[in-house]
Amino acid sequence: MAMLHKLFYSKVRIELLIAFFLHPEKSFYLRELERITGEDYKNVSTELRSLESIGLLTSGKSGNLKYFQLNPVFLIYPELKSFFFNVRGVPGLLKQVLSSRNDSEKNANLISKQLSPDQLNM
């Protein structure tokens, strides 16, 4: 129970977890996460250290940047991944699919309006 409390007590942490679990294979660096979450550098840094300390995140350096990624062997990784996908992933995915479908239909309508009936029946 203490681990769950430590995972979900902060808005910054929740935003970070959403970013990580919606892109579980991706590694992020601190300034990138600051931009994604819209949160302050210091708060993001503090939360990353805390998530790393409990083992949910691992990190590595590339040049002068420290990258963080999810640790897939974390005790409750599968459950958290499922939770965040169900909470944030499905609505976002549906919106993206519907948006691209609407864009495709709009593009098809624009093309058909620009072509004469003879050109459409080729």
Residue 11 pLDDT exceeds 90: no
Rounded Cα distance, 23 and 37, in Å: 14
Residue with tokens 């691992």: 58
Domain range for 29 is: 2-120
> Mind listing the pLDDT tens digit for each residue in 102-115?
554 544 443 344 43
Better-predicted residue by pLDDT, 117 or 78: 78
**pTM value?**
0.68
The pLDDT tens digits for 31-88 are: 999 999 999 999 999 999 999 999 999 999 999 999 999 999 999 999 998 887 777 6
Based on the structure, what is the number of domains in the chain?
1
Residue that has been written with the tokens 């309508």 in this structure: 109
CATH number of the domain to which 70 belongs: 1.10.10.10
Alpha-helical regions (H) of 1-122? 2-8, 11-22, 30-37, 41-53, 77-84, 90-114, 117-120
